[in-house]
Amino acid sequence: MLADVCSAAVEADCGRVLVVASDTDAGAIARIFGAGVVRDPSPAAGLNASLEAAIPLEDDGVLIVASDLPACTPDDVRAMTGFDGVLVATDASGTGTNALWRRPPDAIPLIFGEASARHHRAAAEAGGIAVEVVHRPGLAFDVDLPSHLKDAWDASIGSNTRGALTDLGFPDRIASW
């Protein structure tokens, strides 16, 4: 999935692509697909602290995309950039944030976690910053549970995710679920 997200982001050609990684495997995948790698500066502090510490604030805007989006496309990435303010792409339930655009890059704090979509919107509104919610299937479909892998197999997903699932024995493996 990381390979498909990196591929979509690089192909979207919206600026430099960086992957915040705690392990060498993720870094290697990012480099294969043309993304830069930022070593997680504070892995023990949690996702929000790690991302905040790694984001280059000299950029005009920053898009954060989760790495578990097997159907993410270059059009999805392009749809999440260029806005003056905050764009929040929610998960399928509308509660989580699967992609977040901030212009300027520190427009609001990162609040990933439970009900993060609501918290990101509220932070923007409280700061008087324009905010919009983006609904795109490629950004809404994330894989959080093993059962989501069956949904991924049945969906229009990236070739890297499909190849990995094939290597794991899909679709035959699904029959036993």
- Residue 10: band (very low, low, confident or very high) from pLDDT cuts 50, 70, 90: very high
Looking from the CA of 152 toward its CB, the CA atoms found within 13 Å total: 28
The DSSP output letter for 133 is E
pLDDT in tens, 76-85: 999 999 999 9
The answer on pLDDT for 19 being more than 90 is: yes
Greatest distance between any 2 Cα atoms in the chain: 52
What is the CATH classification number for the domain harbouring 66?
3.90.550.10
pTM of the model: 0.92
Q: 98 with 142: CB under 8 angstroms? A: yes
CA nearest 110: which of 67, 43, 52? Answer: 52
Q: Provide the 3-class DSSP secondary structure of residue 90.
A: strand
For residue 44, give its domain range.
2-176
- CA 69 to CA 86: how far, in whole Å? 20
**DSSP H or E run through 171:** none
**Which pLDDT does position 128 carry in this prediction?**
98
**Which pLDDT does position 69 carry in this prediction?**
97
- CA 121 to CA 131: how far, in whole Å? 6
The answer on pLDDT for 177 being more than 70 is: no
145 contacts: CB under 8 Å, gap ≥ 6: none
pLDDT in tens, 31-72: 999 999 999 988 889 999 999 888 877 778 999 999 999 999
- CA 51 to CA 86: how far, in whole Å? 16
pLDDT in tens, 95-150: 999 999 999 999 999 999 999 999 999 999 999 999 999 999 999 999 998 888 88
Q: Provide the 3-class DSSP secondary structure of residue 86.
A: strand
**Which pLDDT does position 80 carry in this prediction?**
97
The answer on pLDDT for 7 being more than 70 is: yes
Q: 47 with 65: CB under 8 angstroms? A: no
**DSSP H or E run through 20:** strand 18-21
Query: What integer best gives the mean pLDDT of the chain?
Result: 92
Number of domains in the chain: 1
**Which pLDDT does position 134 carry in this prediction?**
97
- Residue 6: band (very low, low, confident or very high) from pLDDT cuts 50, 70, 90: very high
CB atoms within 10 A of CB 147: 11
The answer on pLDDT for 175 being more than 80 is: no
Q: Comparing 91-95, 159-163, 164-168, 171-175, which segment has the lowest mean pLDDT?
A: 171-175
